[in-house]
Structure 1
Amino acid sequence: MLTDYHNHLERGTLTLDYLKQFTDTANEKGIQHFGISEHAYHFYQTADILRNSWVDERRYYDMADYVHLFEEAWRNEIDVKMSIEMDYTPGKHKEMEQFIKSYDFDYVIGSIHWIGDFGIDLAEYRKEWDRRDVYEVYRRYFDQVVTLAQSNLFDIIGHIDLVKIFKYVPEDESFLLEQYDRATTALTQSKTCVEISTAGLRKPTQTLYPDKRLLQMCFDKHIPIVLSSDAHVPEHVGADFDQALTLARQVGYEEIITFSKGERKSYPLG
């Protein structure tokens, strides 16, 4: 079984023709469970959750159109899961829960892209890294991983160590392992799975998410996994899944989780 649960239409259109480019690629690559998880900040309905100047300029979708697209796909017998990728926003648990419960998602991804007003993975903010203490950024980032897990709002945490995207990594390994340990301990007590994402291979880090040491902790603590490409264009669907599968097996995983309307099932990996 292969999944690709983290994909975006934002560089194209919310149309069946564009969606089909993604699902066709998934079919060609033997991916049996494929989903679209557009960024929640694009939708007018999330204006009460995440607000800043960068996000507000990019809020131009309506959830009614998004839901309609999936309904149209299902009528045309296109097998695609409906999801959303939410920016986990501290202090907005009630609003996030209300939004999630308002739609019949197959699963929901929670991700961390912001530490306060600092967009950690955005090119526009890259110079900000040189002005900040890397240890403090990591501590605050993994604080959010912990509370994301504790919220139990999400089925999957996206690119769990995205914070390494620009190769700013603490030199003190014990500090890093401490962050990994508290994150995985929190995830163990939640319903949230971890995705192995190949997106990092296409970013400056040029590594998979998560780091092998972090994924090993996930396996040791019985945290389930899914596979994702985080494709923003059709040709990236299922990209480099051979490397993701190798990493999964190296740390001991033999099973993968699938989702359908919130129901999860376990299948043999690959």
Structure 2
Amino acid sequence: MLFDYHIHTSRCGHANGKMEDYVKKAIDKELVEIGFSDHFPMDVLGFSDDTICSMKYEELEEYFADINELRDKYKDKIKIRTGIEMDYQEDIEDMLRKYTNDNRWDYIIGSIHFIDGYDFSKPGQEEFFADRSIDDLYIKYFEKVKNLASSGLFDIIAHIDLIKKFGCHPEKLSLDEIYREIAKVLSGADLAVEINTAGWRHPVKEQYPSLTFIKELVKRNVPLTFGSDAHSPDDVAYNFSNVFKELKRLGLETNIIYGFSKRKPFCVEDLGGIR
């Protein structure tokens, strides 16, 4: 069963293409399911205007309506899920909880893009890393990952090691120790980890998480999902074929691959292939 649960829309301001074009591309690639998961409106979460990269809250109902329309139109060709990606910060948990209670979500993705109030993931942010201790940034980032996992707010965590996006790696910290620690936290968190192929489109040139990290997650039976983080129709299922081959070499068991419906996980039995 092939699915892509991390697909954005032009509403976020940094993606392009019509929502229907993403659906058509998924059908062309023989996906069984997709899920739209655009950025949740940041204007109601206390983010400053200069850091907002999402639809506005007033657009949210239209987002739901557009997904429902496409779901009905293509119901005989592909299943379409309603998802959202929410930026996690410790000081807005109560606000996030208010909006996660909407029963229209099939799944909610939690992600981390900010350190010390700064969006480190935006294109061209190499200077942010050049001016700071990479080790300290990794410590801060993965502390946030642990807090996100413990919050109980989300179904999936996106691009779990996004901190490596620009190819910056710690100098003294042991990544193996970090991976083991995070995998241990996640093993009791009732949270799936997204295998996100967007890293192949960025300087790091590998998926999130790394294969070494995935091995630790698999050891602890942490559930996994798949997402391309598509920001254009051509990104749908991006590089899934190569990543699937690597996962099969690891002997990945399909009983830890999960999809979601109305925030309830279900086991996916077949990784399959992709054109």
TM-score normalised over the length of structure 1: 0.90
Matched, 1:65 2:97: no
Q: CA deviation at 1:103?
A: 4.6
- For residue 6 of structure 1, give the secondary structure of its aligned residue in structure 2: strand
**Structure 2 CA distance, aligned partners of 1:105 and 1:89?**
20
- For residue 252 of structure 1, give the secondary structure of its aligned residue in structure 2: coil
Determine if contact 2:10/2:18 at 8 Å carries over to the other structure.
Answer: no
Counterpart of 2:98 in structure 1 is 98
Question: CA distance change for structure 1 residues 218 and 57 in 2, over 3 Å: closer, same or farther?
Answer: closer
Q: Map 1:168-179 onto structure 2 (within 5 A).
A: 168-172=168-172, 175-179=174-178
Determine if contact 1:49/1:89 at 8 Å carries over to the other structure.
Answer: no
Question: CA distance change for structure 1 residues 50 and 175 in 2, over 3 Å: closer, same or farther?
Answer: farther
Counterpart of 1:209 in structure 2 is 208
Q: CA deviation at 1:132?
A: 0.7
Provide Cα deviations, 1:77-109, integer angstroms capped at 9, x if missing partner.
443111001111112211111111135111011
Provide Cα deviations, 1:179-204, integer angstroms capped at 9, x if missing partner.
21221111111111111111000001
Determine if contact 2:193/2:222 at 8 Å carries over to the other structure.
Answer: yes
Matched, 1:254 2:253: yes
Higher mean Cα deviation, 138-147 or 48-57? 48-57
Counterpart of 1:145 in structure 2 is 145
- For residue 39 of structure 1, give the secondary structure of its aligned residue in structure 2: coil
* Unaligned stretches of 5+ residues in structure 1: none
Residue identity in the other structure for 1:204: P
- For residue 31 of structure 2, give the secondary structure of its aligned residue in structure 1: coil
Determine if contact 1:219/1:253 at 8 Å carries over to the other structure.
Answer: yes
**Structure 1 CA distance, aligned partners of 2:207 and 2:71?**
32
Q: Map 1:186-197 onto structure 2 (within 5 A).
A: 186-197=185-196
**Structure 1 CA distance, aligned partners of 2:12 and 2:238?**
19
Determine if contact 1:4/1:229 at 8 Å carries over to the other structure.
Answer: yes
Determine if contact 2:8/2:37 at 8 Å carries over to the other structure.
Answer: yes
Determine if contact 2:187/2:222 at 8 Å carries over to the other structure.
Answer: yes
**Structure 1 CA distance, aligned partners of 2:74 and 2:30?**
17
Q: CA deviation at 1:12?
A: 8.6
Identity fraction in percent:
30
**Structure 2 CA distance, aligned partners of 1:209 and 1:75?**
32
- For residue 35 of structure 2, give the secondary structure of its aligned residue in structure 1: strand
Determine if contact 1:196/1:226 at 8 Å carries over to the other structure.
Answer: yes
**Structure 2 CA distance, aligned partners of 1:67 and 1:27?**
21
Question: CA distance change for structure 1 residues 152 and 133 in 2, over 3 Å: closer, same or farther?
Answer: same
Provide the alpha-carbon RMSD of the alignment: 2.0
Determine if contact 2:259/2:265 at 8 Å carries over to the other structure.
Answer: yes
Provide Cα deviations, 1:132-171, integer angstroms capped at 9, x if missing partner.
1101100000001111111121111101111000111013
Provide Cα deviations, 1:95-135, integer angstroms capped at 9, x if missing partner.
11111113511101111111122212112533121111101
- For residue 82 of structure 1, give the secondary structure of its aligned residue in structure 2: strand
Matched, 1:218 2:214: no
Residue identity in the other structure for 1:261: K
- For residue 169 of structure 1, give the secondary structure of its aligned residue in structure 2: coil
- For residue 82 of structure 2, give the secondary structure of its aligned residue in structure 1: strand
Q: Map 1:1-270 onto structure 2 (within 5 A).
A: 1-10=1-10, 18-40=18-40, 43=41, 46-56=42-52, 59-60=55-56, 62-78=59-75, 79-172=79-172, 175-255=174-254, 256-268=257-269, 269-270=271-272
Count of residues in Structure 1 that have an aligned counterpart in Structure 2: 262
Higher mean Cα deviation, 24-33 or 243-252? 243-252
- For residue 5 of structure 1, give the secondary structure of its aligned residue in structure 2: strand
**Structure 2 CA distance, aligned partners of 1:168 and 1:67?**
37
**Structure 2 CA distance, aligned partners of 1:126 and 1:193?**
29
- For residue 267 of structure 2, give the secondary structure of its aligned residue in structure 1: strand
Residue identity in the other structure for 2:241: D
